[in-house]
Amino acid sequence: MPALDLANDEAALPAAPVPQVYIHKVNPAEVLLTGWRRTGPDAFTVTARWPHAHEFYAARHGLLDPLLLSESVRQTLPLLSHAAYDVPLGHQLLWQDFHWELDPAALRDEGRGADVELRITATDVRYRRGRAADLVLQVQAWRGGARLAEARTHFTVQDRPVYDRIRGPYADVALANARALPAPPPAPASVLGRSRDEDVVLSCVDGEDHWRLRVDTSHPILFDHPVDHVPGMLLLEAARQAAQFTSRPRAAVVVGMETRFIRYAELDAPCRIDARPLPDAPAGRQRVLVTARQHDEEIFTDVVTLGEV
């Protein structure tokens, strides 16, 4: 009897649909992932559809929004946790770090959106009580046969009792939102790479490269549903906007991020955002260090790489 080739057998299986509940999104229109299949013991292919016209992730300078890559990879965290690693619904995912780099030429806006394939390998998988508790995902993103991007992200998983102990009083979503500070006025959208004031996540304070994080819990994309802390994607958007400010007057696109999520950003206290250009950028690139501080502690850092359009 011939030996079974498990990897090939799994790769030959048709893609399974993506249950909306596995993406942790209330609005079905915000689910970018369209299918997934296992291609090996810890290897997967996930497909995504990037819309041409999106209310928040809008095309600019003839290119699709690079943060569609970030959101697509972010959606694979809960999908694979629940579908492939037996993590029950209700467990909490804690983002640790996220690095990615893309080819802007592969972001070209062809007027019809984009079909993207994410080829993912999970490494350093640690288990606790029969389910995955700590994972690193290595991602290659492809579009139309061309390599679009590479990414690496690390996250951990906690059950609800442990999460409640970690978060203390902040674990109560309703209470956390009731204590949220009102969103301050937005900085000028045009200097931050946005076209609408409601999508600006920075507010002017003292100095050109310093802002207060603008947290609008009514934003339909960044706050698809109530949460007990500032979402990671809002912090990535703040890093993008702060970096875009430093690129003026040149038109620039984000081509990479090296992100560390150190502590939760809370809703009930001001959060300061600082941006500082770094001197070691490759030719044709600009690197900007963006940091977030709350209660005088560094809670988030992101080295954003910009490329000229």
pLDDT digits over 250-289, tens only? 779 999 999 999 999 999 999 999 999 999 888 889 999 9
Q: Per residue in 197-239, pLDDT tens?
A: 999 999 999 767 799 999 999 999 999 999 999 999 999 999 9
The pLDDT assigned to 7 comes to 45
Same domain for 234 and 192: yes
- Domain assignment of residue 142, yes or no: yes
Same domain, 141 and 243: no
pLDDT of residue 34: 98
Is residue 134 domain-shared with residue 204, that is, in the same domain?
no
* Cα separation values, 278 from 217, 246, 256, 275, Å: 32, 11, 14, 10
Position 250 scores a pLDDT of: 79
What length does the chain have?
Answer: 309
Work out how many domains the chain is built from and give that number.
2
Structural domain includes residue 164: no
Under 8 Å between Cβ of 214 and 202 = yes
Q: Is residue 163 part of a domain?
A: no
- Are both 37 and 118 inside the same structural domain? yes
Q: Are residues 121 and 183 in the same domain?
A: no
Q: Do residues 150 and 183 share a domain? A: no
Among 158, 188, 216, the domain-final residue is 158
Q: What percent of the chain shows pLDDT beyond 90?
A: 86
Q: Which domain holds residue 227?
A: 178-308
Kindly tell me if the per-residue pLDDT of 13 is higher than 80.
Answer: no
Q: Mean pLDDT, to the nearest integer, of 70-89?
A: 97
Q: Per-residue confidence at 2, pLDDT binned at 50, 70, 90? A: very low
Q: Is residue 165 part of a domain?
A: no
Residue 123 and residue 20 share a domain: yes
Q: Does residue 215 lie within any of the structural domains?
A: yes
For residues 145-170, one letter each, b for 16 or more C-beta atoms within 10 angstroms of the residue's C-beta and e for the rest, the string is eeebbebbbbbebbbeeebeeebeeb
- Residues 156-175: pLDDT tens digits? 999 999 999 999 999 999 99
User: For 104-149, how does the pLDDT look when each residue is reduced to its tens digit (9 = 90+)?
Assistant: 999 999 999 999 999 999 999 999 988 899 999 999 999 999 999 9
Are both 151 and 78 inside the same structural domain?
Answer: yes
Q: What average pLDDT is seen over the chain?
A: 93
Look at 251 and 291; give whichever has higher pLDDT.
291
Sorting pLDDT into bands at 50, 70 and 90, what band is 97?
very high
Within this chain, do residues 144 and 212 fall inside the same structural domain, yes or no? no
What are the two backbone dihedrals, phi and then psi, of residue 239, each rounded to the nearest 5 degrees? -65, -40
Which residue type occupies 100? W
| Predicted pLDDT at 149 | 98
pLDDT reported for residue 15:
82
Assess whether 265 and 195 both reside in one domain: yes
The pLDDT value recorded for residue 189 is 95
Burial 237-251 (b: 16+ CB within 10 A, else e): bbbbbbbbbbbeeee
Q: In this structure, are 244 and 154 located in the same domain?
A: no
Average pLDDT over residues 73-97: 97
For 24-37, what is the mean pLDDT?
97
Q: pLDDT tier at 11 (50, 70, 90 boundaries)? A: low
What is the per-residue pLDDT for 12?
52
- Domain co-membership, 94 together with 233: no
Looking at residue 242, which CATH number applies to its domain? Answer: 3.10.129.10
Q: Where is the domain boundary, 93, 126, 158?
A: 158
Q: What is the per-residue pLDDT for 178?
A: 97
- The answer to whether 229 and 267 are in contact (CB under 8 A) is yes
Phi, psi of 175, rounded to the nearest 5 degrees: -65, -40
